[in-house]
């Protein structure tokens, strides 16, 4: 005699594959549209280019500051240059004083 399948038996048999499809769909959707998904990849590339530009600017500024620090090294610093830089940067120069930067003072260099 053949066994009759009830609706409840069909639901129990389909529950496992249905849950598996839901889990696969969830992770597939996240891989496509999630914060680290394929769609967000273009935005990350754009942000990377912006940040690399900012990094280049900051590294150039760092080189300038490192050069100034090297010029202010007490073992090899020019006291006049140190005084000039400090007074100019900190605003301690009098309004009637004229500060001529060293790179512009001697065109022969």
Q: pTM of the predicted model, to two decimals?
A: 0.45
**Which of 101, 106, 74 has the alpha carbon at shortest distance from 85?**
101
Distance CA 80, CA 99 (A): 11
Biggest CA pair distance of the chain? 115
> For the chain, what is the mean pLDDT?
81
- Between 95 and 26, residue with greater pLDDT: 26
Check residue 35 and give its pLDDT.
84
Q: What is the pLDDT of residues 61-79, one digit of tens each?
A: 999 988 877 777 767 767 7
Check residue 39 and give its pLDDT.
86
């Amino acid at each position: 005699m053949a066994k009759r399948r009830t609706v409840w038996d069909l639901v129990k048999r389909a529950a496992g594959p249905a849950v598996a499809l839901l889990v696969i769909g969830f992770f597939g959707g996240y891989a496509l549209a999630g914060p680290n998904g394929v769609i967000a990849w273009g935005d990350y590339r754009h942000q990377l280019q912006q940040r690399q530009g900012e990094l280049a600017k900051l590294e150039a500024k760092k080189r300038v500051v490192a050069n100034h620090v090297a010029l202010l090294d007490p073992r090899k610093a020019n006291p006049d240059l140190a005084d000039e830089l400090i007074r100019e940067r900190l605003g301690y120069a009098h309004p009637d004083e004229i500060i001529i930067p060293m790179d512009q003072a001697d065109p022969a260099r």
